[in-house]
Amino acid sequence: MSSRLKSDPQDGAPGFHVMAKPTGSVCNLSCRYCFFLEKQRLYPGERTRMDDGVLRAYIEQYIEAQDVPEVTLAWQGGEPTLMGLDFFARSVEIAGECAPAGKRISCTMQTNGTLLDEEWCGFLRDKGFLVGLSLDGPREMHDAYRLDGRGRPTFDRVMKAARLMQECDVDFNVLCTVHAANAGHPEEVYSFFRDEVGVQWIQFIPIVERINEDGTTLLQQGDTVSDRSVEPVPWGSFLLGVFAEWLRRDVGEVHVNFFEAAFASWVGAPAMMCIFDETCGNAMALEYNGDLYSCDHFVEPGYLLGNIMREPMARLAASGQQRRFGEAKRDGLPRYCRECDVLFACRGECPKNRFRPAQDGEPGLSYLCEGYRAFFHGIDEPMKLMAGLYNSGRSPAEIIEILEAPERELRRAFARAGRNDPCPCGSGKKFKTCHGGMTPPGGTCSP
């Protein structure tokens, strides 16, 4: 069968993204929270490696379906580097053959980093790959769940990959899952990425593992979660903790996915993350054999759209099944969400997490709702201020100087205050028994 299935112009979806998994769920690690490892049960006994026919079909059909100047080929897993360098060299070669004049092809790869060496890094740099490195924070937090198949920690191997990519000038960012082991340490996690790893782009993803009736996490079913999952309130507190440190010194310098997405909501721009869009369905997952699923989080039989070796990818992406999947995000919102003051930013969050009843018992509330509400309420004032700066043609990063000005003035007042003067912080105490007795002075006191 020819790998090239021509699409009818009416087949096309308005624009979509595909995450390709050339090794399926096969990985050289055995992270305790990885929902995808169990997907091997969907393809029992099969050799889960993408062959050249599927590779070419994916690239040809995907490029053909994208009416944009730049097309991104995204590779994930499992662990994609298990395919070897030759596979990805071949993918670049095919993309070059398929791309029409004027259309740029870019490539991304999400990896645990443990197989990267100088040869890999040279290839990734030379071919312009953007690499996402999975790292969950400092050693004890990362190694709590990110272990290899023999139960050994992986922190040192991942950090070695980070240093090697920096030495080889590979463009990379960090993807950090937030779970029971690191959710209580937002400032430490963020400072580690900024100061120790030295990255400027950070993606956080909350771990929510739904326990199925058989005790597995294979399907998005069940209303209980694993002990590894982040709880709603700690999730909100984590985001707020990171936000406070980011706001203090890093706006415009360090980019965090949830803050970028929130800013887009506050200025009325299109959603930057699918979980915060009104509808979803524009980000699908492609398995090693050409099976196309509605979403990376819904690689399960009920969400299989078809196979690109038998039906064009564009037609599957525009199918009624996929359209219904995407619209269900909006249509299934409970009244509690529809009447919420932060609906404009949240949009009910990811469908995979909407398995809790609202306060009135209506189904469809996000498990993480309480955390998201706290986060969006907590950032409202600074987001309004940054949005105002942006809408006035100024840089949102100016907020750092604006917020620092009152503290700077207070420090000057402390320096001028006599020991028996009222403390400038407004506590009502004398300076000598309030901030005058602190070294160094700073902050405010309660009366």
Dist. CA 326–CA 334, nearest whole Å: 16
244 near 381, Cβ under 8 Å?
no
Strands 130-134 and 104-111: parallel
Count of Cβ atoms closer than 10 Å to residue 246 Cβ: 19
Which H/E stretch holds residue 399? Answer: helix 399-416
Cis previous bond, 78, omega within 30: yes
Angle value at C-alpha 422, between 420 and 426, nearest 5 degrees:
155
Dist. CA 115–CA 109, nearest whole Å: 13
Dist. CA 394–CA 267, nearest whole Å: 13
Dist. CA 241–CA 183, nearest whole Å: 10
Quickly tell me which residue has 């993606």 as its tokens. Answer: 203
Tell me how far apart the terminal alpha carbons of the chain are, to the nearest angstrom: 80
271 near 262, Cβ under 8 Å?
no
Q: Which of 295, 277, 294 is nearest to 349 (CA)?
A: 277
Q: At 46, is the secondary structure helix, strand, or coil?
A: coil
Dist. CA 355–CA 402, nearest whole Å: 41
CA distances from 320 to 295, 325, 333, 350, 356 (A): 15, 8, 20, 20, 27
76 near 175, Cβ under 8 Å?
no
DSSP characters over 274-297: GGGSSS--SEEEE-TTSEEES-GG
Of 195, 296, 341, 421, the active-site residue reads 296
Tokens of 182: 């690191």
Tokens of 441: 């002075």
Residue 296 falls in the annotated catalytic set: yes
Which H/E stretch holds residue 203? Answer: strand 201-206
Catalytically active residues are 296
